[in-house]
């Protein structure tokens, strides 16, 4: 029986601002990547998010991003490796405090947004992230794109890299995600997203936006919690994978 993790980027509310229906989405995923206060989230949101994940039995992961609330962490920043190391370590420590208070073990780390995209191809950025993880807790898993620089640096430091694919994003011919500024970057139809996921899980391939077939490995599937169809996508994906005989479990 095939097995796969379904993760969601959550905990991205801030103060009175609400971006997602986290509790509803948590009913359909097996791990959650929680914002750590620099690109989104705040201490109150972090405490609530860890509690919600614990109540649902969902594995908790840190989702560190650039220090960029204004741009939601989706703009690149010219940070050095040592700066990336420090920002990632800082954010893991913050979330781990709430995990400790709730009696929850931190399970994984997945960089957010522009930091994730940079670490996929930039050795120094990837090394900064992975050094922070290794120094903090080398048992933490690293969610990373298949055969990316982030995955390579994780493995070089003895960390466990879990290959991540995306349900609701399109791919370019070089294997990178289609940039968000492109009008066709996001898959908005839950059924189309599920078809893409089933191909990746069952056949290890995905069709690029421009038509090429790409090889992938799917240890964990990401869906974004801030989209208008997020809850419906999570529900539909859970149903379609279960119907296909795929076991859902944390990576």
> Region 217-222: what's the mean pLDDT?
97
pLDDT of residue 132: 99
pLDDT of residue 1: 72
pLDDT of residue 227: 74
pLDDT of residue 148: 97
* Residue 202's pLDDT band (cuts 50, 70, 90): very high
- Contact present, 157 and 144 (Cβ < 8 Å): no
pLDDT of residue 218: 97
**Pairwise pLDDT comparison (163 vs 230), residue with the higher score:** 163
The domain that holds 36 is classified in CATH as 3.20.20.370
> Region 160-177: what's the mean pLDDT?
95
Q: What is the token pair recorded at 37?
A: 């206060």
Domain that holds residue 127: 3-248
The runs of H, that is alpha helices, within 30-188 are: 43-56, 81-102, 113-121, 123-136, 149-156
Number of domains in the chain: 1
**Cα–Cα dist 87/26, whole Å:** 27
Model pLDDT for residues 3-15, shown as the tens digit of each residue: 999 999 999 999 8
How far separated are the first and last CA of the chain, in Å rounded? 15
Burial 223-240 (b: 16+ CB within 10 A, else e): bbbbbebbbebbebbbeb
pLDDT of residue 229: 84
pLDDT averaged over the chain? Answer: 96
DSSP 163: E
Q: Alpha-carbon torsion 116, 108, 9, 191, what sign? A: positive
């Amino acid at each position: 029986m095939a097995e796969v993790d379904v993760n969601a980027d959550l905990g991205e509310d801030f103060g009175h601002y609400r971006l997602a229906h986290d509790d509803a989405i948590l009913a359909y995923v097996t791990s959650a990547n929680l914002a750590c206060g620099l690109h989104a989230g705040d201490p109150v949101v972090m405490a609530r998010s860890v509690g919600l994940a614990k109540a649902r039995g969902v594995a908790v992961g840190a989702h560190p991003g650039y220090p960029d609330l204004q741009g939601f962490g989706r703009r690149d920043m010219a940070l050095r490796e040592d700066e990336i190391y420090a920002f990632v370590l800082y954010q893991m420590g913050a979330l781990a405090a709430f995990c400790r208070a709730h009696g929850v073990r931190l399970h994984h780390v997945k960089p957010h947004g522009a930091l994730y995209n940079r670490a996929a191809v930039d050795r120094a950025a990837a090394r900064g992230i992975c050094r922070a993880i290794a120094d903090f807790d080398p048992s933490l898993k690293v969610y990373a794109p298949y055969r990316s620089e982030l995955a390579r640096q994780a493995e070089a430091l003895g960390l466990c890299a879990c290959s991540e694919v995306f349900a609701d994003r399109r791919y370019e011919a070089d294997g990178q995600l289609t940039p968000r500024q492109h009008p066709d970057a996001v898959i908005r139809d839950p059924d189309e997203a599920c078809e893409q996921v089933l191909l990746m899980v069952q056949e290890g391939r995905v069709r690029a936006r421009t038509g090429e077939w790409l090889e992938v490995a799917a240890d964990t599937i990401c869906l974004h919690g801030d989209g208008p169809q997020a809850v419906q996508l999570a529900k539909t994906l859970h149903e379609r994978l279960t119907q296909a005989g795929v076991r859902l479990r944390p990576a």
